[in-house]
Amino acid sequence: MLERTKPYILLWSEVALPRLVPNHASHNDVTNLFHRHLKGYIGEKKVDYHINFLRKKFTILRGITLKNKDRTFQIDTLILSNYAIFPLEVKNFANQITFDTDLNQFIRNDGETETGFRHPISQAEAQRMNLIQWLDEHNIHSIPIHYFVVIADPETVIKVTGEGGAKERITKIVSHGEHIPQKILTLEKHFESQPYRKINHVKLGQLIVKNAHTKYIDYCNRLKIQLKDIKPGVKCPACSEIGMVRYREKWLCQKCRHTSRTAHIPTIREFLIIFGRGISNRECRYFLQVESRQLATRLLKSANLYYSHKYRRWFSKDIPYFLNKL
């Protein structure tokens, strides 16, 4: 079972936002990115709680990104059973949402205004087609794929308007997270009674994880954020104030007086996440606000990084970097 981790865009915006100068032209964009993806991540974690009840019988993959011949696509949650695959498209909307089957619209009402969004069933259907293509490319055919649109917040009111079969179809596909396990178990029982070939879902899950593709985007380049736009300084692990000073082999927070021997390590990690180009000794001295080259080297070594003589920069094995920046 693949555990859910924060998506790269959430990690990036989470560390970039507190350091980005307030008057930067992209400050609002970064703020919106952070809040939107944090909300999505919280919603996915809520749904995870409910589907964990299936973990002994099914293979559960979270936040999977795959790449087929045509495109890269991401599935919030993928549940593999003995007879079928169940992709979950998770939505974390509050208040009231409406599926209008006459006009094929999806509308959120937050109590003040109505806002239209991309139809989540269309998104789920597109992911289903992408998944079928990916499976075909790996010579895996004829597996039933039944997707759900999952509403994370149990207090969200779900309305379906219109007449006919479309309305009935939506009520079968859209559900609050707490009802998803029983719906999947019911469908699994149905598939079990049909002439479908049994799936080795553990082996299939291993194949998917092996081919999982992490999509990284150079957000600094996209949003025109430069080094001068990011506030330097070691962040206090106690109060999050940026600007700890070096004092007797420790870092001292001038705001709360907390001391730490290792506060530079997460600060260096923040630089690596924000800029995606590794870090040079000079950049380290600037970002940690220290003057000694020897001290900077010692601090970089203590952060469990590796040095590239080709690029003359330090890198982390678990943080991506962009070759066009090197």
Q: What is the mean pLDDT of residues 139-150?
A: 95
Q: b vs e for 202-216, b when ≥16 Cβ sit within 10 Å of the residue's Cβ? A: eebbeebeeeeeeee
Strand order in the sheet with 59-67: 59-67, 72-80, 85-91, 148-151, 174-176
pLDDT: is 111 or 309 the higher one?
309
Q: What is the mean pLDDT of residues 186-201?
A: 91
Question: Mind listing the pLDDT tens digit for each residue in 278-291?
Answer: 999 999 999 999 99
Spatial separation of the C-alpha atoms in residues 79 and 49, rounded to whole Å: 14
Question: Mind listing the pLDDT tens digit for each residue in 40-71?
Answer: 999 999 999 999 999 999 999 999 999 998 78
Q: Which amino acid is at 160?
A: V
Grade residue 318 by pLDDT with cuts at 50, 70 and 90: confident
Neighbour-count burial of 17, counting CB atoms closer than 10 A to its CB (0-12 exposed, 13-18 middle, 19+ buried): middle
Question: Mind listing the pLDDT tens digit for each residue in 203-260?
Answer: 999 999 999 987 788 999 999 999 999 999 999 999 999 999 999 999 999 999 999 9
Spatial separation of the C-alpha atoms in residues 126 and 303, rounded to whole Å: 42
Predicted TM-score (pTM) of the model is 0.89
pLDDT of 157 higher than 80 = yes
Residue 326, helix vs strand vs coil: coil
DSSP code for 175: E
The helix, strand and coil proportions of the chain, stated in percent and rounded to the nearest 5, come to: 40, 25, 35
Question: And the tokens for 121?
Answer: 């069933």
* Residue spans of beta strands (DSSP E) within 39-147: 59-67, 72-80, 85-91, 96-100, 105-109, 114-117
pLDDT of 6 higher than 70 = yes
Q: Which pLDDT belongs to residue 322?
A: 79
Spatial separation of the C-alpha atoms in residues 220 and 226, rounded to whole Å: 7
pLDDT of 134 higher than 70 = yes
Q: Which pLDDT belongs to residue 53?
A: 92
Q: Which pLDDT belongs to residue 36?
A: 96
Q: Percentage of the chain with pLDDT > 70?
A: 98
Q: Percentage of the chain with pLDDT > 90?
A: 83
Q: Which pLDDT belongs to residue 126?
A: 95
Spatial separation of the C-alpha atoms in residues 144 and 124, rounded to whole Å: 15
How far lies 85's CA from each of 80, 102, 139, 180, 322, in Å? 5, 29, 16, 14, 34
pLDDT of 324 higher than 90 = no
pLDDT: is 2 or 19 the higher one?
19
Q: What is the mean pLDDT of residues 99-122?
A: 89
Q: What is the mean pLDDT of residues 8-16?
A: 96
